[in-house]
């Protein structure tokens, strides 16, 4: 569902994870659900995460972008921001997702931008704005993640 793009992480973040044996850009360019839905992460830091998703292949029976697809994009972006905020010693686990759908989209690409509302020691909350190609708001979402201590770089 489209070409793979390289994720734009700050170099110090890439280096920090590389020291633990984790290829951070590869981690966020893969994933079964995201790949099936065509989600692409194009920018990622604790301050801002940007991703895109095609409408085609992610519609409900009326031909509109499925609300669940918007939720997947929102949770993906907010989780990445939360994980980057928590750093290598924490894993981010989504505990609350709220989505308000403002308008239908039938074609093209939607873009989500996640920015922090709260970044604490044990939780992180991100607002995610999803817009269409005309920069019209499609969905507003809010994700709160619990930040748990990681046993290792992948939390295992």
Which residues are known to be catalytic? 75
Contacts of 42 (CB under 8 A, 6+ apart): 5, 7, 8, 50, 51, 52
Instruction: Record the tokens describing residue 16, joined without a space.
Output: 């920090």
Task: Identify which of 28, 22, 68, 77 has the alpha carbon closest to the alpha carbon of residue 48.
Answer: 77
3-state helix, strand, coil in the chain (%, to 5): 30, 35, 35
Structure tokens at 57: 């292949």
Measured from the Cβ of residue 90, the count of other Cβ atoms closer than 10 Å reads 21
Contacts of 156 (CB under 8 A, 6+ apart): none
């Amino acid at each position: 569902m489209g070409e793979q793009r390289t994720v734009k992480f700050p170099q110090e973040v890439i280096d920090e994870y590389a020291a633990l044996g984790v290829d951070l850009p590869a981690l966020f360019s893969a994933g079964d659900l995201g790949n099936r839905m065509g989600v692409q992460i194009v920018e990622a830091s604790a301050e801002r995460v940007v991703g895109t998703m095609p409408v085609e292949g992610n519609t409900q029976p009326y031909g509109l972008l499925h609300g669940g697809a918007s939720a997947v994009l929102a949770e993906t972006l907010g989780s990445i921001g939360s994980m980057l905020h928590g750093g290598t010693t924490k894993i981010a686990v989504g505990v609350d997702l709220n989505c308000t759908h403002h308008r239908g989209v039938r074609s093209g690409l939607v873009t989500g931008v996640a920015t922090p509302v709260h970044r604490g020691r044990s939780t992180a909350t991100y607002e995610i704005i999803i817009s269409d190609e005309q920069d019209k708001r499609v969905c507003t979402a809010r994700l709160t993640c619990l930040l748990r201590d990681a046993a290792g770089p992948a939390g295992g």
